[in-house]
Amino acid sequence: MLTRRKLAVSTAAFALAAGFTGAAYAQQKTVVEFWHGLPQPLGGQLEQVVKGFNDSQDKVQVNPTFKGSYPETMQAAIAAFRAGNAPHIVQMFEVGTATMLSAGPAIKPVHQLMSETGSGLDAAAYIPAVRGYYSSKDGKMMALPFNSSTTITFYNKDAFQKAGLDPNKPPATWPEVADAARKLKAAGVTCPMTFSWPTWTQFEQVGALHDKPFASEANGFGGLNATLKINDPFFVKHLQTLIDLQKEGALRYGGRDNAADSLFPSGECAMIQASSGLRGRIVKEAKFNWGAAPLPYWPDAISSPKNSIIGGAAFWVMTSPKRTADEYKAVAAFFSYLARPEVDAKWHMDTGYVPVTLQGFELAKKEGFYDKNPGAEVPAEQLTRTATTENTMGLRLGNLPEIRNIIQEEMERAFQGQQTAQQALDNAVKRGDTVLRNFERANKN
Amino acid sequence: MQRRVIFDNRALPYLLLAPQVAVTLIFFIWPAAQALWQSVHLQDAFGLRSQFVGLENFQAVLSDPNYLETVKTTIVFSASVTFLSLVSALGLAVLADAKIRAAAAYKTLLIWPYALAPAVAAVLWMFIFNPDIGILGRALNNLGYAWDYRLNDGQALTMVILAASWKQVSYNFIFFLAGLQAIPRSVLEAASIDGAGAVRRFWTITFPLLSPTTFFLLVVNIVYAFFETFGTIHALTHGGPGKATETLIFRVYQDGVVNHDLGGSSAQSVILMVIVIALTAIQFRFVERKVHYS
């Protein structure tokens, strides 16, 4: 018969053994905390990618955690760092880049991580427009690009047909866009065109396409003393065109950030300039024929447009007082996995984000993805069509989210007729420069 | 006979007080002190570098024309929300207090909106008033009225005022109804017998007897309009178009959380704190004199 004492001893031994194997198990795998800001369904797809990595080896366990929208993820990461408890990896949207770069000891640059751990990740494998956005002044990769998008035009082929426009020939220039919008309006379309992410699509991208600076100091890459350049006559003329089109009823302002996104798949608006990441939603929701086209340009400003710039997010490595070399090694192993062409290509084909590596793009081509999905190659082609200049590498401005909001506010006042395009952009520059000066002061060493 | 309680042990009273003092220190004094400290510093987002800048943050905020615009918006917004939600709640409470059929059902339905999270409430309003997906918004446009709160200051402000008031009506309604039911019927009946009409009865008896409730709700509603309407505004308009629906508390969030300007944001919350303390003091000093406590 089992005495009470024996029972106690054997239970203790069992607990000890369980604890022991548990500890051994934990020792085997290095745990990496990874915070991301992608809601469903994209978040689930990202977690599948992580699972693919976890299953591919038995040394590292990456734990993905959804932390809310991009700005919320950024808040969480900053708060965690302040508390001395930052995650190993955080996904940060592109406009947070300058803030992350000025974080100094809070982050570990990817190029440094890679050379310390000898993982041999090749920065040259990345598409230049993507690599440029996340590189330091001297061209060193600071964050790992992952989900990048760019802005393109989606248009409703049925509406084009109805308005007597060629559905297989989307307008390529702004005069053609304006002309098409007027014809669509004449044919009874209530919303001929719109755009989401107003600052991104109408100023950041328009600047890059025409090789015009959005800000001085190479769009901020040159230093913290950059000033905004968007009250240049070129941008004033562009905004004035938008205001005029809106007055005529040929364009509809759809709201801040991505609020206008819903106007296209619902069939309300016939043309939209939006993130290439909208593709997935259009595929699912649109009940009409549609096409994708590159962004239009002003032929009187440039004969052939430059590459567009990216949006989306990248992965940043954060530091913490207790972090060990093994943990960084684990992070590097995960990053090397993400850089594999087959992982990159699959993510691109599943989600509508652009392939971030050249090999990933080639692989998607080879698999016949673009033959089956016409228009899906537009974003990648637009990103890679020219070599990057200092105006097309992207933006490196402190507190860019705030500057984007300021521009949206001033644009809205102009669309309401409270001020002219010139006044709107003068105000935006004045207020935006104040933001830049404060950032410069707060981040000076 | 000695009636005061005497503690033999000198330490005991302090010990008994300690939890309350600790809670006050940790949850009230410490955060407030931090806000004060940050309001005189300039700091980067990660808190790696910080420098003392004196009153510069206050100076920057108070000399910003947009901030003064926001103060104006807040006054219009808070006054409208307080007035609208008090008046409509009082009206509904008077109606529900009367002897009507299915009064219980009405009362329950009127209390519902209070249980909704501000953001959810805002989404419901969007389904009604959004010019593209809202039922009423679409109808207005089809009728030829250019309704688009994303591009019209007045429409946007009207909408957030309505949504924020609607959310608060239930709360006011409960208190008014309770207040009404506490009024002795005999007094009202006596007035009826003396020949006073419904309107006269209301203004000479009911309303004065309700004044403690009204005063309490006035304070609560102003504080609500100042601090708790953030979710509604955030979900409906994000403070836009332009800055038409940006209130002081929205800007504190915007500058602090979105823009990482902790110094400026802290300075604003200190200013906001002073404003609300002043408002409450004024109310208790002057408005309360007109209140009749029975």
Please determine, for residue A1, whether its predicted confidence score (pLDDT) is greater than 50. no
Say which of A103, A408, A431 has its CB closest to residue B46. Answer: A103
Q: What is the mean pLDDT of residues A42-54?
A: 93
Closest chain B residue to A99, measured at CA: B45
pLDDT at A2: 45
Of the CA atoms within 13 Å of residue A130, those in its CB half-sphere come to 30
pLDDT at A308: 94
Q: Quickly state the pLDDT bin for B122 (edges 50, 70, 90).
A: confident
Q: Quickly state the pLDDT bin for A69 (edges 50, 70, 90).
A: confident
Tell me how long chain B is: 294
Please determine, for residue A150, whether its predicted confidence score (pLDDT) is greater than 50. yes
The per-residue pLDDT of chain B, averaged, comes to 89
Q: Check the CA dihedral A260-A266-A269-A275 and report its sign.
A: positive
pLDDT digits (tens, 9 = 90+) for A367-412: 999 998 888 999 999 998 998 899 998 899 988 988 999 999 999 9
Q: Quickly state the pLDDT bin for B133 (edges 50, 70, 90).
A: confident
Please determine, for residue B230, whether its predicted confidence score (pLDDT) is greater than 60. yes
Is the Cβ pair B48, A71 closer than 8 Å?
no
Of the CA atoms within 13 Å of residue A125, those in its CB half-sphere come to 19
pLDDT at A24: 47
8 Å CB contact between A380 and A361: yes
Is the Cβ pair A256, B238 closer than 8 Å?
yes
pLDDT at B88: 95
DSSP A108: E
Say which of B133, B151, B254 has its CB closest to residue A416. Answer: B151
CB atoms within 10 A of CB B227: 14
Please determine, for residue B289, whether its predicted confidence score (pLDDT) is greater than 60. yes
8 Å CB contact between A129 and A257: no
The three-class DSSP label of residue A155 is strand
Q: Quickly state the pLDDT bin for A319 (edges 50, 70, 90).
A: very high
Distance CA B57, CA A39 (A): 36
Token code pair at residue B162: 């309505």
In terms of pLDDT, which residue wins out, A120 or B131? Answer: B131
Q: How far is B143 from chain A (nearest CA, A)?
A: 14
Q: Which of A69, A399, A407, A409 to mutate to probe the B interface, most B CBs <10 Å?
A: A409
pLDDT digits (tens, 9 = 90+) for B27-81: 999 999 999 999 999 888 888 888 899 999 999 999 999 999 999 999 999 999 9
Q: Which of B41, B43, B48 to mutate to probe the A interface, most A CBs <10 Å?
A: B48
Please determine, for residue A19, whether its predicted confidence score (pLDDT) is greater than 50. no
Q: How far is B185 from chain A (nearest CA, A)?
A: 54
8 Å CB contact between A118 and A233: no
pLDDT at B77: 97
Distances (CA, A) of A418 to A10, A155, A232, A421: 82, 31, 20, 10
pLDDT at A4: 52
Torsion of CA B77, B83, B85, B87, to 10 degrees: -160
Q: Quickly state the pLDDT bin for A53 (edges 50, 70, 90).
A: very high
Would you call A188 an interface residue with chain B, using a CB distance cutoff of 8 Å?
Answer: no
> DSSP per residue over A248-279, as a string?
HTS-----STTGGGGGTTTTSEEEEEEEGGGH
Say which of A255, A442, A444 has its CB closest to residue B150. Answer: A255
Please determine, for residue B116, whether its predicted confidence score (pLDDT) is greater than 80. yes
Is the Cβ pair B42, A438 closer than 8 Å?
yes
Poorest-confidence range of A8-12, A176-180, A369-373, B6-10? A8-12
Would you call A401 an interface residue with chain B, using a CB distance cutoff of 8 Å?
Answer: yes
Poorest-confidence range of A244-253, A327-336, A370-379, B113-122? B113-122
Q: What is the mean pLDDT of residues B92-114?
A: 84
Residues of B near A (CB-CB distance < 8 A)? 42-49, 66, 132-133, 150-153, 238, 240-243, 254, 257-261, 264
pLDDT at B72: 95
Centroid of chain to Cα A79: 22
The per-residue pLDDT of chain A, averaged, comes to 89
Is the Cβ pair A399, B152 closer than 8 Å?
no
Would you call A289 an interface residue with chain B, using a CB distance cutoff of 8 Å?
Answer: no
In terms of pLDDT, which residue wins out, A338 or B102? Answer: A338
Percent of chain A with pLDDT over 70: 94
Mode of pairing for the β-strands spanning A107-108 and A311-318: antiparallel
Q: What is the mean pLDDT of residues B94-111?
A: 83
Q: Quickly state the pLDDT bin for A445 (edges 50, 70, 90).
A: low
Q: What is the ipTM of this complex?
A: 0.77
Query: CA angle, corner A140, sides to A134 and A143, nearest 5?
Result: 35
Distance CA A113, CA A107 (A): 10
pLDDT at B3: 61
Please determine, for residue A17, whether its predicted confidence score (pLDDT) is greater than 60. no
- Helices (H), ranges, A312-420: 325-338, 341-351, 358-366, 369-372, 378-384, 400-415
pLDDT at A164: 95
Closest chain B residue to A444, measured at CA: B49
Please determine, for residue A350, whether its predicted confidence score (pLDDT) is greater than 90. no
Poorest-confidence range of A174-178, B159-163, B171-175, B275-279? B275-279
The three-class DSSP label of residue B4 is coil
Please determine, for residue A247, whether its predicted confidence score (pLDDT) is greater than 50. yes
Please determine, for residue B165, whether its predicted confidence score (pLDDT) is greater than 50. yes
Distance CA A438, CA B42 (A): 9
pLDDT at B113: 84
Is the Cβ pair A78, B46 closer than 8 Å?
yes
